[in-house]
């Protein structure tokens, strides 16, 4: 139901108008309670306006990925939702309550990027400590197992590797059996295996009806997990729609190759290419239709060496999405 | 929907206190120093005179145990809160706690209980050492009075600890705690009688918190001191002063990180 496509009325290329959250549920459906409500939320740090009026509603059972480059306002948004910081203006509600209300907090599990725990306590002790904060926690053993930390249960937090530490924070986020999970960059710092396990766990939790908000700067990850993606850039929500719509508008692949002989920019003129860089013979470009681009280039008789096609770094992709923003309005 | 919307606070306090006790216990720089230093100081400054008596017949040993006991409990408060809070800020533990349903007051009480347990442990260790090694004997009621008064009167040092913890980082806080607390203790006559201190310090000591704090313990072993009520008034005033400073430092921190 959440982020259902027929309601999104997406107009690719017109970011900011693709909101799905507002009009969900016709008159026949009972309203789904909202977990997070941000109404014209602004946040200013000194001279910097980190959030410039964000409207966002997350309803129970939704799995939402908040996507954006570093410094876009993702962490600030989460901080406001959880009451860690107060909005300069506007309103933020968590389960319909003040985010600092203990009743609201008791329904949330949180994994923050930069938070810390006492390094001298063991994994099991920390999980038991955090379980005591919640009204109906799951057994410590289960939380540790879900996070894949069985072998480290008796190790102190200070001796864990970066990835294990991340999994510990995940265990702490889920041990209270919360209805809503807030995961700030859950997969950063994890190796491939651990990342896959983490994504699978998040997906399983979503399947059990948990409301999940996660931030990421990997489009791929957002795509795999979420049914709704909120793109935030420079403190503004510039898109709020399904992964499919986002992918269509963001150049998702990066192509790079060395051209033989050196070529002119003109050859790309009619191709779906953004962010083109030609430095001597090395060509770098972004596209969401890499197959078509390459095929056309081959047809035009281009010879290339060291061809690489990879998932576009979102930071890069955003440059194209956001630099064109003004002109698209 | 759920039978209980929030977790029971009593159990939360218990578990949180256990966690703080474990944390403090496992940092030897704290646990060992806190219990060993008063005993060490008593050994150096007190043992040679432990069996002496003052002209009025009071035990010098008991007086010195009272002095180093006051030094010890005060230091537990200043260090536990000062270094503890500085560490929590540095490691962003405060942020982690803030996104849980743990009420900040429960955490504060847990910290106070923890500090009281360590204060009690440090006192009991010192008294046991004084009795067994120093041969200082007092009725149990006298020891009990010292323990009770020193624990109850330690609140201003919690405020001092908080101030240090909120103003300084984890590397500076221990040094600052020493720089503030040790001179205060010396100048208040905890290490040598006030009358033997340099003249300008002697003029200063009746205004210092540690001086009035130690009076609580000295009067328990029969010294002619100001009345307990006067000592408590002084300590209440210092509590107000230090807690105000702590609150200012806390608010400043709060504005920086959580607004």
Within a domain: residue A322? no
Q: In this structure, is residue A134 part of a structural domain?
A: yes
Domain CATH for A53: 3.40.50.300
- Do A271 and A287 lie in one domain? The reply is yes
Q: Which of B4, B27, B101 sits opposite A133 (nearest CB)?
A: B101
Touching check for B259 and chain A: CB below 8 Å? yes
**C-alpha span between A45 and A87 (Å, rounded):** 10
Residue A245 shares a structural domain with residue A257: no
Verify that A155 and A292 share a domain, yes or no: no
Interacting residues of B189 by C-beta distance below 8 A, sequence separation 6+:
B67, B197, B205, B211, B214
Which residues does chain A have within 8 Å of residue B84's beta carbon, measured at their own beta carbons?
A: none
pLDDT value at residue A320: 61
* Number of structural domains in chain A: 2
Of the two residues A287 and A151, the one the predictor is more confident about is A151
Q: With respect to residue A159, please indicate whether it lies within any of the assigned structural domains.
A: yes
Give the CATH number of the domain where residue A261 resides.
Answer: 3.30.70.100
Residue B159: per-residue pLDDT: 93
Residues B149-163 have pLDDT tens digits of 999 999 999 999 999
Q: Is residue A326 part of a domain?
A: no
Structure tokens at A241: 């729609």
The shortest C-alpha distance from A304 to chain B (Å) reads 50
Q: Measuring CA to CA, which residue among A133, A118, A215, A132 is closest to residue A168?
A: A118
| Residues B174-202 pLDDT 10s | 999 999 999 999 999 998 888 888 999 99
Q: A113: which 2 tokens?
A: 């990027």
Q: Does B9 touch chain A (CB under 8 A)?
A: no
Domain locations along chain B = 9-257
pLDDT digits (tens, 9 = 90+) for B87-125: 999 989 989 998 999 998 999 999 999 999 999 999 999
Of B6, B16, B98, the CB nearest to A84: B98
Domain match, A75 and A11 both: yes
Q: Which domain holds residue A100?
A: 5-249
Q: Do residue A242 and residue A260 come from a single domain?
A: no
Instruction: Based on the fold, state whether residues A301 and A223 are members of the same structural domain.
Output: no
- Residues from A in contact with B at Cβ < 8 Å: 82, 84-86, 102-103, 105-106, 108, 110, 112, 114-121, 125, 128-130, 132-136, 172, 176, 182
Residue-level pLDDT at A5: 41
How far apart CA A16 and CA A61 sit, in angstroms, is 23
Closest CA to B135 of B57, B55, B52: B52
- B33 pLDDT tier (thresholds 50, 70, 90): confident
Does the CB of B98 have a partner CB in chain A at under 8 Å?
yes
Name the token pair of B112.
């106070």
Chain A residues touching residue B99 (CB < 8 angstroms): 82, 84, 105, 108, 110, 112, 115, 182
Nearest CA in chain B to A182: B99
Q: Is the pLDDT of residue A28 over 80?
A: no
pTM of the model: 0.82
Q: Are residues A284 and A177 in the same domain?
A: no
- Whether A33 is in a domain gets the answer yes
Q: Which residue of B has its CA nearest to A108?
A: B100
pLDDT greater than 70 at residue A111: yes
Decide if B92 touches A, using CB distance below 8 A: yes
Residue A270's contacts (CB-CB under 8 Å, 6 or more residues apart) are: none
Answer yes or no: do A195 and A282 share one domain: no
């Amino acid at each position: 139901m959440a982020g259902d496509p027929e309601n999104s009325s997406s107009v690719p290329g017109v970011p900011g108008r693709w909101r799905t959250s507002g009009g969900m549920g016709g008159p026949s459906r009972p309203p789904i309670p909202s977990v997070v409500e941000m109404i014209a939320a602004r946040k200013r740090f000194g001279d910097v306006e980190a959030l410039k009026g964000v409207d966002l509603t997350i309803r129970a059972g939704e799995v939402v990925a908040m996507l954006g480059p570093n410094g876009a306002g993702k962490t600030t948004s989460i901080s406001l939702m959880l009451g860690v910081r107060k909005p300069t203006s506007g309103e933020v509600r968590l389960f319909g309550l003040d985010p600092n209300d203990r009743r609201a907090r008791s329904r949330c599990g949180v994994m923050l990027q930069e938070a810390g725990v006492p390094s001298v306590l063991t994994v099991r002790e920390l999980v038991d400590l955090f379980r005591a904060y919640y009204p109906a926690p799951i057994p410590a053993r289960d939380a540790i197992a879900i996070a894949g930390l069985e072998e480290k249960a008796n190790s102190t937090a200070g001796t864990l590797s970066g990835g294990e530490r991340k999994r510990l924070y995940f265990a702490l986020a889920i041990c209270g059996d919360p209805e809503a999970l807030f995961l700030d960059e859950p997969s950063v710092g994890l190796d491939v295996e651990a990342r896959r396990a983490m994504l699978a766990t998040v997906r399983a939790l979503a399947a059990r009806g948990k409301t999940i908000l996660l931030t990421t700067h990997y489009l791929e990850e957002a795509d795999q997990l979420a049914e709704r993606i909120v793109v935030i850039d420079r403190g503004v929500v510039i898109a709020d729609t399904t992964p499919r719509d986002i992918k269509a508008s963001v150049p998702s692949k990066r192509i790079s190759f060395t051209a033989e002989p050196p070529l002119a920019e003109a050859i790309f003129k009619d191709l779906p290419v953004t962010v083109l860089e030609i430095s001597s013979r090395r060509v770098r470009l972004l596209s969401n239709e890499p197959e078509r681009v390459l095929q056309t280039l081959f047809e035009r008789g281009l010879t290339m060496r060291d061809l690489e096609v990879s998932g576009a770094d979102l930071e890069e992709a955003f440059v194209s999405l956001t630099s064109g923003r003004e002109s698209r309005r | 929907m759920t039978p209980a919307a929030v977790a029971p606070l009593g159990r939360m306090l218990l578990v949180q206190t256990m966690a703080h006790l474990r944390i403090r216990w496992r940092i030897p720089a704290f646990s060992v120093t806190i219990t060993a230093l008063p005993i060490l100081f008593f050994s150096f400054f007190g043992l040679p005179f432990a069996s002496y008596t003052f002209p009025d017949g009071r035990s010098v040993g008991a007086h010195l145990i009272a002095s180093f006991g006051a030094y010890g409990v005060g230091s537990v408060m200043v260090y536990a809160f000062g270094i503890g809070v500085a560490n929590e800020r540095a490691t962003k533990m405060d942020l982690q706690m803030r996104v849980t349903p743990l009420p900040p007051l429960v955490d504060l009480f847990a910290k106070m209980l923890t500090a009281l347990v360590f204060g009690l442990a440090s006192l009991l260790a010192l008294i046991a050492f004084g009795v067994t090694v120093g041969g200082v004997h007092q009725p149990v009621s006298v020891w009990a009075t010292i323990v009770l008064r020193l624990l109850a009167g330690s609140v201003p040092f919690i405020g001092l600890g908080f101030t240090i913890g909120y103003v300084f980082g984890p590397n500076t806080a221990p040094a600052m705690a020493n720089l503030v607390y040790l001179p205060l203790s010396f100048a208040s006559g905890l290490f040598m009688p006030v009358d033997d201190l340099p003249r300008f310090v002697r003029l200063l000591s009746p205004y210092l918190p540690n001086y009035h704090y130690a009076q609580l313990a000295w009067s328990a072993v029969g010294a002619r001191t100001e009345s307990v009520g006067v000592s408590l008034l002084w300590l209440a005033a210092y509590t107000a002063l230090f807690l105000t400073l702590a609150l200012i430092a806390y608010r400043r921190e709060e504005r920086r990180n959580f607004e």
